[in-house]
């Protein structure tokens, strides 16, 4: 991919996400991009597609646009067309953006490609481990959610719409999404990294409950 396209995309994303919530800002995109390049080293995929997909995957996250899932793909497509990217590449990136999200974990992808596998794993890795924990509480604070409420149990059978509208405490998110991701990874590299981060989150939760309940 020509460096000027990549540089312009990075500049565009930084501008678009200026002032975004801390878990979904430019630094989230940058981490996903780095994860993407790492995973791509062990996968037979189109580097241009995965790079653009990673950089544009959260350009207009629906959770910040009243649940509208069409805005992100549209913003990405408009930008890529302005940069004279081929229509085939634009369509592929659009499909990645449309299919990357967790959405409660029960939605089936309507599109499949190795490039989507790579970018989806890279995005999911940023929801795991120490960064995943930090992002969970950052977003919970942004939405003024409780950290934990023992009286509100995690809902493991939410529909996509219930998941999108959930106002549950942040700790519930571990059970409703984060701890489920390890078994949903697509690539061998993704699976290996996810396993380590999964174990770290389990240790964190053990420590959390010990402190919450006053155990030594």
pLDDT in tens, 99-130: 998 765 556 777 899 999 999 999 999 999 99
Total tally of structural domains belonging to the chain? 1
Q: In whole angstroms, how large is the CA radius of gyration of the chain?
A: 18
The reported pLDDT for the residue numbered 165 is 82
Domain that holds residue 62: 3-212
Q: What are phi and psi of 44, to 5 degrees?
A: -85, 90
Q: Which two tokens stand for residue 189?
A: 């590299």
Q: How many CB atoms lie within 10 A of CB 140?
A: 21
Distance CA 184, CA 102 (A): 10
CATH of the domain at 59: 1.10.3210.50
Instruction: Give how far the C-alpha of residue 154 lies from the chain's centroid of Cα atoms, to the nearest Å.
Output: 20
- 60-74: per-residue pLDDT in tens? 766 655 666 788 899
Helix, strand, coil: what percent of the chain each, to 5? 65, 0, 35
- 141-190: per-residue pLDDT in tens? 999 999 999 999 999 888 878 887 889 999 999 999 999 999 999 999 99
Q: What's the whole-model pTM score? A: 0.90
């Amino acid at each position: 991919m020509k460096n000027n396209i990549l540089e312009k995309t990075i500049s565009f994303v930084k501008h678009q996400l200026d002032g975004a919530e801390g878990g979904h800002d430019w630094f989230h995109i940058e981490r996903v991009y780095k994860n993407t390049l790492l995973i791509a080293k062990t996968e037979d995929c189109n580097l241009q597609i995965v790079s653009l997909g990673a950089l544009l995957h959260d350009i207009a996250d629906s959770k910040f646009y009243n649940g509208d899932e069409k805005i992100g793909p549209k913003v990405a497509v408009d930008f890529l067309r302005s940069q004279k990217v081929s229509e085939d590449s634009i369509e592929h990136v659009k499909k990645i953006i449309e299919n990357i999200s967790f959405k409660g974990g029960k939605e089936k992808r309507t599109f499949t490609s190795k490039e989507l596998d790579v970018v989806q794993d890279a995005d999911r890795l940023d929801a795991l481990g120490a960064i995943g924990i930090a992002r969970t509480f950052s977003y919970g604070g942004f939405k003024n959610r409780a950290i934990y409420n023992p009286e509100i149990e995690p809902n493991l059978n939410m529909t996509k719409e219930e998941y999108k509208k959930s106002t549950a405490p942040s700790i519930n998110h571990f059970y409703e999404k984060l701890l489920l991701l390890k078994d949903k990874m697509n690539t061998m590299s993704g699976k290996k990294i996810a396993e380590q981060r999964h174990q770290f989150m389990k240790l964190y939760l053990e420590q959390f409950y010990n402190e919450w309940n006053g155990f030594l």
